[in-house]
């Protein structure tokens, strides 16, 4: 059984990693395409809406997806199909309802959010367009959570690639049409592409999921045990309450974190103006940081993200079985692998940052940012998996407090250091926050690290 679980993790990680790298390669060149079409300022405007999207996702589905994954994984192998279906339906009900409410709110209050919260009125039309994607994003995220729970990463990997392909492909088609007919598009076309990508992914995921359950219903195990055996273990109402109870604190934590992150993102251009840049220059620098430099730094995290998604249910199972040696081995393996990846990327980005910035993005400032940010790679990739382990152990409160502390530290640097030192002061804050996060994770996991049983 342990061998099968290890194989499931390895196989799932390979599938998700392959899809993640392909998706990031597409996304990487897509960012280059957008930066050349709309410039650093256009990228900055587009990137300013990301905190709003992340906040909505945190409220509507991130905790629910984790809950679906957790409870689906906990269902028995022999007769748990109906129970798994009920957890999925419960997650879809909650997430779908919340997403429609959030979409209505953002659409109606786009001007207020853009002007008062993001300090950039040009974000309003982008917010209205992207609000249309909330429902689709939440639906296929819950479906992904189900397949993560049964340790089948094929559908989530396909949806990730399909969504990215449709998003980029649609924008490229719009651009080709505009070139032929001499039409000028604004950065809002990227928001339209996002909506198309999310709906394409949802429309692909739903029929595949229906076919999956149809085959399960026809399987010998399901036919013999029948629906009644699984209904006895979990009802739809019970699944709803369990999903809500698990997701509520997790979602509340993530909403708080994304609120702070949104405040940080909105404040960076303001602090840059206090340093001496004009409004246009500040937005451009922010676009270079988020749309160019961080795109490169986060590229290798496709591997660590894949491991993290599939690691949480396995850690949860080992914790439920009180299998401390397995948890300790998983932690040590993650530390070794993530640090090796991190230091390798540190060297790579440190040596090639200027080349990437000047040749690929046609922006020397992007190259400088990439070289400076390379120092966070070992901490950044390691922290992703450490958080997944903590969540699998049920220590969501610890991850929330650690994230809060790190974000507050970063915001302090945004307010105090950027007006004096410019972006250099913010980079110091990012490095300090990542180091603090790693130290706190190690302290929280010390019982498992020092276990000798």
Average pLDDT, the chain: 84
For 118, the 3-state DSSP assignment is: coil
- Mean per-residue pLDDT for 400-424? 93
pLDDT tens per residue across span 30-39: 888 888 888 8
Distances in Å between the alpha carbon of 136 and those of 194, 201, 205, 346? 11, 8, 10, 37
Backbone angles phi, psi at 158, to 5 degrees: -65, -45
- Mean per-residue pLDDT for 51-68? 88
- Mean per-residue pLDDT for 271-278? 92
Q: What is the rounded radius of gyration, in angstroms, for the C-alpha atoms of the chain?
A: 22
Higher pLDDT, 1 or 296: 296
pLDDT at 275: 93
Q: How many CB atoms lie within 10 A of CB 406?
A: 23
Give pTM, 2 decimals.
0.75
Give the angle 10-392-311 at the CA atoms, nearest 5°: 10
Tell me the C-alpha distance between 75 and 68, whole Å: 11
Task: Tell the residue number behind the tokens 């979602």, with chain if given.
Answer: 251
Spatial contact of 166 and 197, defined as CB atoms under 8 Å apart? yes
Cβ contacts of residue 64 below 8 Å, gap of 6+?
91, 94, 95, 138, 142, 145, 243, 247, 251
pLDDT at 131 over 70: yes
pLDDT at 27: 82
- Mean per-residue pLDDT for 138-159? 85
Spatial contact of 296 and 367, defined as CB atoms under 8 Å apart? no
Cβ contacts of residue 298 below 8 Å, gap of 6+?
24, 380
Number of domains in the chain: 1
For 269, the 3-state DSSP assignment is: helix
Range of the domain at 50: 2-449
Spatial contact of 312 and 250, defined as CB atoms under 8 Å apart? no
Tell me the C-alpha distance between 150 and 143, whole Å: 11
Which pLDDT band, with edges at 50, 70 and 90, does 7 fall under? low
Q: Taking Cα atoms as reference points, which of 275, 246, 270 lies closest to residue 73?
A: 246
pLDDT tens per residue across span 352-380: 999 988 888 888 899 999 999 999 999 99
Which pLDDT band, with edges at 50, 70 and 90, does 221 fall under? very low
pLDDT tens per residue across span 276-326: 999 889 989 998 998 889 888 988 877 777 677 667 767 777 777 777 888
- Mean per-residue pLDDT for 395-400? 82
Spatial contact of 384 and 297, defined as CB atoms under 8 Å apart? no
pLDDT tens per residue across span 102-125: 999 999 999 999 998 888 898 999
- Mean per-residue pLDDT for 189-216? 90
Task: Tell the residue number behind the tokens 């046609």, with chain if given.
Answer: 362
pLDDT at 220: 47
Tell me the C-alpha distance between 67 and 145, whole Å: 8
For 21, the 3-state DSSP assignment is: helix
Q: Taking Cα atoms as reference points, which of 311, 251, 235, 313 lies closest to residue 71?
A: 313
pLDDT at 400: 82
Tell me the C-alpha distance between 13 and 15, whole Å: 5
Hey, what are 168's tokens?
Answer: 């980029």
Which pLDDT band, with edges at 50, 70 and 90, does 336 fall under? confident
Q: Is the dihedral of CA 361, 364, 370, 371 positive or negative?
A: positive
Least confident of 41-55, 97-111, 119-133: 41-55
- Mean per-residue pLDDT for 422-427? 94
Q: Is the dihedral of CA 144, 147, 153, 158 positive or negative?
A: negative
Cβ contacts of residue 196 below 8 Å, gap of 6+?
166, 167, 170
Tell me the C-alpha distance between 17 and 424, whole Å: 32
pLDDT at 222 over 60: no
Q: Taking Cα atoms as reference points, which of 361, 312, 323 lies closest to residue 9?
A: 312
pLDDT at 95: 94
């Amino acid at each position: 059984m342990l061998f099968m679980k290890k194989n499931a993790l390895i196989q799932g990680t390979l599938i998700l990693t392959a899809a993640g790298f392909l998706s990031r390669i597409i996304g990487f060149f897509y960012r280059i395409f957008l930066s050349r079409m709309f410039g650093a300022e256009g990228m900055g405007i587009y990137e300013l809406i990301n905190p709003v999207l992340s906040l909505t996702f945190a409220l509507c589905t991130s905790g629910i997806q984790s809950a679906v994954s957790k409870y689906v994984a906990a269902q028995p192998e022999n007769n748990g199909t109906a129970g798994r279906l009920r957890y999925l339906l419960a997650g879809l009900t909650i997430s779908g309802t919340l997403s429609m409410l959030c979409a209505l709110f953002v659409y109606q209050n786009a001007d207020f959010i853009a002007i008062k919260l993001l300090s950039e009125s040009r974000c309003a039309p982008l917010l209205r367009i992207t609000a249309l994607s909330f429902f689709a994003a939440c639906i296929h995220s819950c479906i992904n959570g189900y397949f993560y729970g049964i340790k089948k990463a094929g559908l989530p990997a396909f949806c990730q690639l399909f969504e990215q392909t449709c998003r980029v492909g649609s924008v490229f088609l719009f651009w080709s049409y505009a070139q032929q007919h001499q039409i000028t598009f604004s950065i809002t076309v990227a928001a339209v592409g996002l909506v198309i990508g999310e709906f394409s992914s949802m429309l692909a995921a739903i029929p595949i999921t229906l076919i999956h359950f149809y085959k399960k219903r026809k399987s010998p195990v399901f036919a013999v045990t029948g629906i009644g055996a699984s209904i006895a273990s979990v009802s739809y109402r019970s699944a709803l309450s369990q999903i809500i109870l698990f997701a509520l604190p997790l979602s509340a934590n993530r909403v708080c974190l994304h609120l702070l992150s949104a405040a940080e993102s909105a404040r960076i251009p303001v602090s840059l103006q206090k340093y001496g840049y004009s409004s246009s220059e500040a937005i451009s620098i922010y676009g270079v940081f988020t749309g160019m430099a961080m795109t490169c730094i986060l590229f290798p995290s496709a591997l660590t993200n894949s491991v993290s998604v599939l690691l949480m249910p396995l850690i949860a199972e080992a914790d439920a079985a009180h299998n401390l040696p397995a948890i300790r081995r998983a932690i040590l393996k993650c530390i070794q692998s993530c640090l090796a990846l991190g230091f390798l990327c540190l060297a790579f980005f440190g040596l090639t940052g200027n080349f990437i910035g000047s040749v690929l993005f046609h922006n020397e400032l992007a190259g400088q940012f990439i070289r400076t940010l390379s120092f966070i790679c070992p901490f950044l990739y390691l922290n992703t998996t450490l958080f997944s382990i903590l969540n699998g152990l049920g220590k969501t409160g610890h991850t929330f407090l650690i994230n809060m502390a790190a974000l507050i530290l970063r915001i302090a640097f945004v307010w105090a250091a950027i007006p004096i030192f410019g972006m250099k002061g913010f980079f110091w804050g990012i490095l300090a926050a990542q180091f603090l996060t790693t130290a706190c994770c190690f302290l929280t996991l010390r019982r498992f690290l020092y276990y000798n049983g």
